[in-house]
Structure 1
Amino acid sequence: MNTAPAATVARFASDWEATLRETRFEPPVLARYIPDGSAVRLAVLADLIRIDQRQRWRRGAGRRMTEYGEQFPDLVGTAQYTELVCEEFTLRRRFEAVELAEFCAEYPDQAAELRDRFGDSEAPQYLSRPDAALPARIEVGIRVDDFDLLTQLGGREHAKVFLARQLSMQRLVAVRVEAGDAHDPRRVAQLDHQYIVRVFDQRVIADADDAALRLQYMQYLPGGTGADLLRSMRADTPDGGARLLRAVDAAMEARGEIRPTDSAVRGEIAALSWPETVAWVGRRLASALDYADQQGVSHSAIKPANVLFTAEGVPKLADFACEIPASADPEAVPYQAPEYLAAILDPAAPQPDARADVFALGVLLWEMLTGTRPFADPPGDDPDPLTTMMRARAAGVDGSALDELPADTPATLRRVLLTCLRPEPGRRWRSGAELAGQLELCLDSRARDLVDPPPRSLRFRARRWLFPIAALCVGIPNLAASVYNIRLNQVLIVDALAASDQQRFRTVALVNNLVSFPLAGIVMLLLCRRALVAGYRLAYGRGYPPAEVPRARTETLSVGDRLVLVPFAMWLLAGVAWPLALMRTGVVLPSHNFVQFYTAQVVCAAIALAYPFFLVTVYMIRSIYPQLLVAGPVGPEDGRQLARLARRSNLYLAAAASVPLLAVASATFVPDGQLPLVIGPVRVLSVAGIVAFVLTYWLFRLLEADLRALIRALPRGTR
């Protein structure tokens, strides 16, 4: 295998994601992606195993490194193997209870590295407390190692953050100076995402009193923090995204920075309402959380001070696993999920996962939206504030908190935040990616109106009538085609037959209809069963398995195709089968009758193809498909599927335009003597076809606008 290593790893990750969209758990075979005889074999193999590990543990089918070692013996004993063993411990701690001593016994050769790296992890990290305070001399104006400390940006006794000039690189950086050297930020320093503050490196130095100081230097962002934004909100007017830009500008002015000009991003923010601005910020922070989770890192300390803004107003998350423990940080605790608070109170409680960060981000976004948090803080004299906070979260968001939402808050944003804040982790968004996709929907007015229509709207009420509406959308055009077909066959064929042959014709017609109509219905139900069942269950509040939602969405977009292709094929098939069956009964038909009969069937097939497609598809897109967008994760593939549907609709529009032309063309196969007999039916069909095309074109434009809105609102990758 000669594929470039990065491309190989990316392909493996993509194939894993494709597997997760299927209902069956059949992961890609790892061995097929490993380079043969390559100098980078071990590095590529380690990256592939890292992806495989994380995905398997997420699916509840975790695989041990001992199994990988048996499969790839050349990996055992290498530095990559040790690193992967450490990653397995991190994953197991997230998904099941495991003690460090027990794990070390399973991997004795890696025990020393495990104890060195996780020696303090017997208690959750957020329970540990700093051992020492910073020396008093660590303040603005001094030089520490390679850094001149210019301005203090934040921090407390044991750790402070400064704006500093790095002398060796002649650049401004943010430097975190912390007492002690026990923290291992190697994994955090590897995070490289456009919405995460980039950690460059760290140094451990000895203070004048021989105390250890750890310097961690990172990207400097001049636009202030979420805490600055919340403070400015209390004295600012609610005029949309300009509120965020003013807070950023104020923070930059306080630091002597100059506001950027001609910024497309700032122009985008300024055009947003305040709820849309909150969704815009939240979508980017959720994307950062998802990326970190993919790397095996949880934030665990989301709070306003850990959201930093660039000069253009773009948010970035800071202090992944670097903030002081939440139990010692009163600023972080009010944002924590109930399971996180439970783990603080009881170290034996299950470890929180990525959904705890989703909850914390939901609290932060709610506070940005309203100026207050959704859960009241316990009174100052409460002897057990953590228990009180857990009870408040278990009760859910109350009516008084809901009343704080701005009047222009879209229903979609309200739903998204309330899902973030559900007390049960299993009922929240499962990852930052899911949350990011839902927040993206909040940023397009047409898309969010589709996804969360008013409860009294026709689109909302039509969700409960899925089967009858779909049947009518398919049945009415086919019934019209049948009327035309019967009338044309009557004047061209049946009236010219003997009385006994006419009876045989009617018998064949009856048998044909009794067979073909039920058969077509059964085939259509089988082809569309997943989409129809999913839409029905969601409309009646019965839920649908999240793992199957992506596939149900895919099938929902093709319901229109499936419901029209079956009748289309049946009409064409009947054009051959019906005359043959008639001849087997002894009826003799002239050759021109065969042509007349089949051309009529082609016209009916075109009617059955074009008109029901738009009726069904518009109904599915406006009523049924939006339910599935909020029932499971959305991503770039959903946008590509919508784009493919938009392209297919052009073909069906052409089919609709062809119906009057086909009707006229079919008249050319009628003998001159019979031409006056078909003028009436052809004229009626031509006029009706023109009227139907006008209606179809209106539906086409409506469908086109809806698809464009949904495509705009769905994730197209990291933005």
Structure 2
Amino acid sequence: MHEPTDLVDSAERTRTALATVVARFSTAWGSGLPPDLSAYLPREPAERRSILIELIKIDLEYRWLHYHFPKRLTEYHAEFAELQEGPLPADLVYEEFHALRRSPHTADAAAPATEVATMAGAPELPEFTSDYRSTLIARPEAQVVLDAIDVGDHVDDFDLLMKIGAGAFAQVYLARQQSMQRLVAVKISHNHGIEPQTLAQLDHDYIVRIFDQRLIADGELKLLYMQYLPGGTLLDVVHLLRATPAEHRSGQLLLDAVDGVLADKGEVRPAESAVRTRTAELTWPETVAWLGRRLADALQHASERGVLHRDIKPANVLLSAEGIPKLADFNVSSSKRIKGTSPLAYFGGSLAYMSPEQLEACHPDLPATAADLDTRSDIFALGVMLWELLTGHRPFADETCAGESETSLARMLELRRRPVEPKFLTELPPDCPMALRRVLLKCLSPDREDRYPCGSELAQQLDLCLEERARDLVYPPPKSWRARLSRLPTPVLWSSSLVGIGLATIYLAVHLQSLLDVRLSDATYSRLYTSTIVFNLVAWPLAIVIYAYMSRDLLAVPRGLRRGRRYDEDALARVRSRTLFWGDLCALNTFVFAVCATVAGVMLLRWFTDLPARLMVHAGTTVLVAGTISVAYTFFLSTFYVVRCVYPIYLRHGRTTAHDSAVLRALRRRTTIYLAVTASVPLVGVLAGFTALEPAELPLVRDSVLGLCAASGLAFVAVYWLFRKLDADVRALERVCGAVSDVRV
């Protein structure tokens, strides 16, 4: 069943309980004697282990730095059963090392710390450096000061005007910065974590911009001030969504949620803008794709700088007055570029949105750790959030007590290790495009190898969901003719070649037969007919061999993709580009066949007949005209099929780049040239049809030439229709194949 809307997040409850317990435990240390740590542990197993780890960190600090009551991790390990299952947490080893290093009572901390880790079977240790960064989540002195701060206070350079958010260890205010005379968002929190340093690395349109940080209360608290976004969060959108009937949901719902938050704050609704106008015109699935596309781009920017967010949820996505999303709250993020940090420190997040591998890292009985996570974990969380935005519910049947014990945590993990259940698929809106459905299911794949490997690839797929023509090409209905024909490239392409060759052969036969009937005997005709059969028996197998060689990768890779095989980006990019030349290759193969037929035909006429040279020239010219017909029509039929049925397959796999756009533009230029060739067929046919003929011979070929003009005129109409469709398809694909950084606001 779905969680009730007023269910408090279990991770937030744990943090609140932790703050309370830490304050009590620190007060007890005020007597100067070690308190009984076990007396402060809760009964709930899930909260018990996390709180135990934090209390041990505080206990180590008091025992080694403030007093002299030495106690080693091996003793805690023997005392508490919660630490005996699996390896010791690496952040505990890290804290003990630095407690011993800073203590005046120890000389060498590295050897004992390494010994503890080895004895307890700890995983690979975090790097021990002289740059100590505390991993404590809650500092008792900081909590006292934080609770004393309220609206109306003047803190550092800021007048606190309104509280706009609060958590166990942080409060967020709308404030006026006196020195700059501007409104900013001020986050005051315990001085732990690397959120300011992380955000300082990120400069992106869809990530909240940080201005600076200050340390206050003698360094116990930090004040982080950043750009103020008045439009609330995506959580406000989810609440409004659940209260709105499905048939009334559209892009206007997003703007209504923003305007509702603005009204509650007493702020003026912004004037209409191009962004708000376009957003209001979107369907609700398109709105979700529009939001997701921008957040995926933000994830790409963060991952390129070694940052994992690890806590993506609606409350952590802020909205501008125009409804533009910006990723915020990097409090539990990790960064590979900040010296002295570890992905194991400040690990947390909201359980309901976590990927299977992140839940495994939270489970005390499983060997996975936060160090195992990568961008694909954030992509899973983004997929959960987008699904919730689309339907009003998350795609998992979590119990109301989910995450409050190891048993319920294991249940959540079990649900996320399976594909999304069919009953949740029925909740998708009727107007949800097949493309968006497939994109979200790929994001939510239990196996992270099956998810999008990076934010830019996900962003491009969501771009497809916003481009109606392109998404219908890339994600056709499973039983549509395009989906079926995409599996049959060889029969379709050969059929397109045969259409061109067939039309050319018909013209050739009608035109030359009437001209040669009066000049050749039956015996000569028989020899020519036999020679033609021999030529075809040689030419067709050769054409098949040439086709098989030039199409070997173009046939193998789509077949491999359908079977689940993975290809590297370079291989996919190479085959993608070559696929757009497939129609040209088929036309070239046909043209080579026509040239060979011309040469062979002239030679046969010379060997078996005594026709004058001018008629042989006429026959050769006629064969070339027929070849031109076959080449032009073969190209359009083949390329129309390739663009509609084959090329879109690659856009479901791998990232496209600006090079793909350039190749598509080149294809549009070539189609224009081929169209000109097709349009010239009647004129060329007339000129070639009467070339080198005497006046008495003209009536013999008049009907065939006039027939060619009429038929090619009708054929041009059909080709022009194909050209317009093809051009529209290529333009749509080109719009979604550009550089991922080119985001339309």
**Superposition RMSD in Å:** 2.7
Q: Which moved more, 1:170-179 or 1:281-290?
A: 170-179
Work out whether 1:186 is the aligned partner of 2:194. no
Q: Which residue of 2 aligns with 1:439?
A: 462
Q: Which residue of 1 aligns with 2:742?
A: 718
> How has the CA–CA distance of structure 1 residues 203 and 394 changed in structure 2, closer, same or farther, with 3 Å as cutoff?
same
1:469-517 per-position Cα deviation (integer Å, ceiling 9, x unaligned): 1111111211221232234333445753466655554454334323322
Distance 2:696 2:235 in 1: 88
Contact 1:412 1:448 in 2 (8 A): yes
Q: Which residue of 2 aligns with 1:130?
A: 138
Q: Which residue of 2 aligns with 1:222?
A: 230
Q: Which residue of 2 aligns with 1:558?
A: 581
Alignment partner of 2:538 out of 511, 515, 523: 515
Q: Which residue of 1 aligns with 2:100?
A: none
Partner of 1:521, secondary structure, is: helix
TM-score normalised by structure 2 residue count: 0.75
Which ranges in structure 1 are unaligned for 5 or more consecutive residues? Answer: 1-96, 105-110, 121-127
Q: Which residue of 1 aligns with 2:213?
A: 202
Q: Which residue of 1 aligns with 2:505?
A: 482
Distance 1:250 1:153 in 2: 14
The residue type equivalent to 1:250 in the other structure is: G
Alignment partner of 1:243 out of 241, 244, 253: 253
1:17-52 per-position Cα deviation (integer Å, ceiling 9, x unaligned): xxxxxxxxxxxxxxxxxxxxxxxxxxxxxxxxxxxx
Partner of 2:165, secondary structure, is: strand
The residue type equivalent to 2:225 in the other structure is: Y
Q: Which residue of 2 aligns with 1:366?
A: 387
Work out whether 1:459 is the aligned partner of 2:470. no
- Percent of residue pairs bearing the same amino acid type: 44
Distance 2:169 2:310 in 1: 19
> How has the CA–CA distance of structure 1 residues 326 and 166 changed in structure 2, closer, same or farther, with 3 Å as cutoff?
farther
> How has the CA–CA distance of structure 1 residues 707 and 193 changed in structure 2, closer, same or farther, with 3 Å as cutoff?
same
Distance 2:184 2:712 in 1: 70
Q: Which residue of 1 aligns with 2:378?
A: 357
Distance 2:630 2:123 in 1: 62
The residue type equivalent to 1:361 in the other structure is: L
Partner of 1:163, secondary structure, is: strand
Alignment partner of 1:305 out of 297, 300, 315: 315
Alignment partner of 2:290 out of 280, 295, 299: 280
The residue type equivalent to 1:512 in the other structure is: F
Shift of 1:245: 0.1
Work out whether 1:629 is the aligned partner of 2:640. no
Distance 1:654 1:660 in 2: 11
Q: Which residue of 1 aligns with 2:437?
A: 414
Contact 2:198 2:330 in 1 (8 A): no
Contact 2:500 2:631 in 1 (8 A): no
Distance 1:252 1:708 in 2: 40
Q: Which residue of 2 aligns with 1:336?
A: 354
Q: Which residue of 1 aligns with 2:417?
A: 394
The residue type equivalent to 2:414 in the other structure is: R
1:230-281 per-position Cα deviation (integer Å, ceiling 9, x unaligned): 1222223533000000001111222232222131000110000111100010
Q: Which moved more, 1:512-521 or 1:162-171?
A: 512-521
Shift of 1:183: 3.1
Q: Which moved more, 1:156-165 or 1:493-502?
A: 493-502
Work out whether 1:650 is the aligned partner of 2:650. no
Contact 2:605 2:616 in 1 (8 A): no
Shift of 1:342: 0.9
Q: Which residue of 2 aligns with 1:569?
A: 592
Q: Which residue of 1 aligns with 2:162?
A: 151
Work out whether 1:160 is the aligned partner of 2:184. no
Work out whether 1:266 is the aligned partner of 2:290. no
Shift of 1:675: 1.4
Alignment partner of 1:252 out of 241, 262, 269: 262
> How has the CA–CA distance of structure 1 residues 391 and 190 changed in structure 2, closer, same or farther, with 3 Å as cutoff?
same
Distance 1:173 1:329 in 2: 28
Distance 2:657 2:352 in 1: 31
> How has the CA–CA distance of structure 1 residues 505 and 323 changed in structure 2, closer, same or farther, with 3 Å as cutoff?
closer
The residue type equivalent to 1:596 in the other structure is: H
Partner of 1:464, secondary structure, is: coil
Q: Which residue of 1 aligns with 2:66?
A: none
Distance 1:699 1:222 in 2: 50
Work out whether 1:376 is the aligned partner of 2:397. yes
Contact 1:440 1:714 in 2 (8 A): no
Q: Which residue of 2 aligns with 1:640?
A: 662
1:126-169 per-position Cα deviation (integer Å, ceiling 9, x unaligned): xx633345322222111111121112221313112211112222
Contact 1:568 1:606 in 2 (8 A): yes
Contact 1:466 1:535 in 2 (8 A): no
Aligned length: 601
The residue type equivalent to 1:718 in the other structure is: D
Shift of 1:633: 2.3
Contact 2:199 2:209 in 1 (8 A): no
The residue type equivalent to 1:599 in the other structure is: T
Q: Which residue of 1 aligns with 2:188?
A: 177
Q: Which residue of 2 aligns with 1:70?
A: none
Q: Which residue of 2 aligns with 1:5?
A: none
Distance 2:270 2:332 in 1: 30
Contact 1:440 1:715 in 2 (8 A): no
> How has the CA–CA distance of structure 1 residues 313 and 353 changed in structure 2, closer, same or farther, with 3 Å as cutoff?
same
Q: Which residue of 2 aligns with 1:545?
A: 567
Distance 1:607 1:321 in 2: 67
The residue type equivalent to 1:428 in the other structure is: R
Partner of 1:148, secondary structure, is: strand
Partner of 2:488, secondary structure, is: helix
Q: Which residue of 1 aligns with 2:557?
A: 534
The residue type equivalent to 2:357 in the other structure is: E
> How has the CA–CA distance of structure 1 residues 406 and 500 changed in structure 2, closer, same or farther, with 3 Å as cutoff?
closer
After TM superposition, the structure 1 = structure 2 runs for residues 555-634 of structure 1, keeping only pairs within 5 Å, are 555-580=578-603, 583=606, 585=607, 588-634=610-656
Contact 2:633 2:719 in 1 (8 A): yes
Distance 1:155 1:328 in 2: 18
Contact 1:508 1:582 in 2 (8 A): no
Partner of 1:196, secondary structure, is: coil
> Computing the radius of gyration over CA atoms, which structure comes out larger, 1 or 2?
2
> How has the CA–CA distance of structure 1 residues 131 and 597 changed in structure 2, closer, same or farther, with 3 Å as cutoff?
farther
Q: Which moved more, 1:347-356 or 1:332-341?
A: 347-356
Partner of 2:386, secondary structure, is: helix
Q: Which residue of 1 aligns with 2:727?
A: 704
Q: Which residue of 2 aligns with 1:695?
A: 718
Q: Which residue of 2 aligns with 1:89?
A: none
Partner of 2:211, secondary structure, is: strand
1:378-434 per-position Cα deviation (integer Å, ceiling 9, x unaligned): 342755332111100012211221122112111111111011101000011111111
Shift of 1:323: 6.2
1:517-554 per-position Cα deviation (integer Å, ceiling 9, x unaligned): 2222222232232222333445x545452533333222
Which ranges in structure 2 are unaligned for 5 or more consecutive residues? Answer: 1-121, 335-342
Partner of 2:415, secondary structure, is: helix
The residue type equivalent to 1:360 in the other structure is: A
TM-score normalised by structure 1 residue count: 0.78
Contact 2:193 2:346 in 1 (8 A): no
Distance 2:396 2:201 in 1: 35
The residue type equivalent to 2:619 in the other structure is: F
Distance 2:682 2:658 in 1: 39
> How has the CA–CA distance of structure 1 residues 543 and 183 changed in structure 2, closer, same or farther, with 3 Å as cutoff?
closer
